[in-house]
Amino acid sequence: MASDDIVVSLPPDPDNVVEIWTDGGCKPNPGPGGWSAILTFRNVVKELSGAEAETTNNRMELTAAAEALESLKRPCHVVVHTDSQYLKNGITRWSTGWVRKNWRNAAGDPVANIDLWKRILAAAAIHRVDWKWVRGHDGNDMNERADRLATEARRAAFGADK
C-alpha cells in the first residue's frame, strides 16, 4: 500500500453481530449457583444455562461468558452484555496485567477464578468481542431474561427454596 492510500475502516455490520446477554448468581453467596447466556444472531435466539452446587456469584458470571463464547461455531463479531463489573473490568482492564505478571494480581497474590478467566480469554481470542456493561435489575428485557434463566437453572438443580 502506498503511503498516500486512504484506508477506510467500516463500522461492523449490525446484521452480522452475535449479541450475548449473560448473568449468574448464587443464593446464598457462596452456595448453589446458576448461570445463563442468551445468544442472538439475526432472528435466531439460543439460550444456555446451568448450575453448580458450591460456587460464587462471580464464578457464575464468568461461567456464563465462557460457555457463551465457547458455544460459537466460527469466528465472528460478538457483543457481550453483562451486569457484572467484575467480568467487564476483569476482561477489559485487569487481564492484560494478570497475564503479564504470570496470573498474579496487584498485591502479588494468585488471581481468583484463574481457570474461568483463562477459558474466557481463550474463547474470545478468535472473535472480535466488545464488552458492554448494563445495569442489572433495571428493566432491560434481555438482562432480566438472563437473570430469570440463571435463577431457574439454580432452582431446577437444587430446589425452589434456593
User: Which residues are identified as catalytic?
Assistant: 23-24, 61, 83, 137, 147
Instruction: Write out the chain in H/E/C secondary structure.
Output: CCCCCCCCCCCCCHHHEEEEEEEEEECCCCEEEEEEEEEEECCEEEEEEEEEEEECHHHHHHHHHHHHHHCCCCCCEEEEEECCHHHHHHHHHHHHHHHHCCCECCCCCECCCHHHHHHHHHHHCCCEEEEEECCCCCCCHHHHHHHHHHHHHHHHHHCCCC
